[in-house]
Amino acid sequence: MRWFKPDALKTEKIPTVARDPTKIGKIPIQISIADSRKDSIAEAENAKEEFQIFSDGSALEGKVGTAVVLIHQGRHTQTLYYHLGLDEEHTVHKVESVGILLRLHILSSRKSKKASAAIRVDNQAAIKAFTSDLRNPGHHLTREALCIASKISKERKKGGKNKHALTIRWTAGHKGIEGNELVDREAKEVAKGRTSDMKLLPRYLRKPVLTNSSAVKKVHNESLTKEWREEWRNLKQGKALTLFNESTPSSKFLKSLSNLKLSRAAASAVVQLRLTHFPLNGYLKRIGRMDNARCPACRVDEEDITHFLLRC
């Protein structure tokens, strides 16, 4: 609370019990996740459902949003836009969950709800959330999506016909799929701030979406990492390391030391040399372990790293 100073009214809350444990896994939607990316693409190209619904999230200049397109028998018939806000308040997973909610809303708002429909999702985590206990950040959107899906299912059953399936399919991103290419273009507009008329949106999205705690923590951690990196690069040791590797501190630098050909002692010596903490007289005098810093070999210059490696 002291670090993040959250606004309780604007931040997501995780309920102690979000779902009846006996109903976990029992949902009014069929889920299909292909075994591989190749199978997913082939399935999308040979789709037989009457309605195909695609969505894509986009981030631009610190803002995020999602666009949804409905394709009916190969023809683009409807588009919805929803701008969430700043990327420091919303995660990619949350954007995908909003997209699923919008897709189900498009289906529920159509007069004919008995036609077969496939909701195309390229994020497996967002799909698997439907069969979870719904107690993670962003799952309040999944709960709302399930409510809409239940209404669609009940209306289909009223007529005594339920043979037409409502299916969420995992569809890997692929340029060859017409729906993906179309929604990619639309997503750029929504990231700029475009949002559909509120009357066209589900009631749950007609007010600002709650801030995601995971996004807040991510921004905080990135800020700490940036601050630490800047402080480190301004230290004497950091400046010395930068001469050898401009990317330091980074994983690239660590990988350069994680060489199987280097022994533990050799890797340690390399780090000590680069940090100017190698036990030479110049360093030992600096930390009070020697009376003078002269080189024991030539007895002339201070025994620092440069003298030790390049001169003496």
Give the residue extent of every domain in the chain. 21-217, 245-311
Burial 139-155 (b: 16+ CB within 10 A, else e): bbbbbbbbebbeebeee
Residue type, 1: M
Residue type, 136: N
Bridge partners, residue 302, by sequence: 294
Which range among 131-145, 153-167, 188-202, 234-248 shows the weakest confidence by mean pLDDT?
153-167
Q: Is residue 1 classed as helix, strand or coil in its secondary structure?
A: coil
* Count of alpha carbons within 13 angstroms of residue 184, beta-carbon side: 10
Higher pLDDT, 74 or 285: 285
Quote the DSSP letter at residue 199: G
Integer Cα distance of 190 and 97 in angstroms: 16
Beta carbons of 70 and 78 less than 8 angstroms apart: yes
DSSP codes joined into one string, 248-286 = -SSHHHHHHH--TTS-HHHHHHHHHHHTT-SSSHHHHHH
Architecture of domain 21-217: 2-Layer Sandwich (3.30)
- pLDDT at res. 160: 61
- pLDDT at res. 199: 92
110-143, pLDDT tens digit by residue?
876 667 888 888 888 899 999 888 888 889 999 9
* Count of alpha carbons within 13 angstroms of residue 47, beta-carbon side: 29
Higher pLDDT, 180 or 128: 128
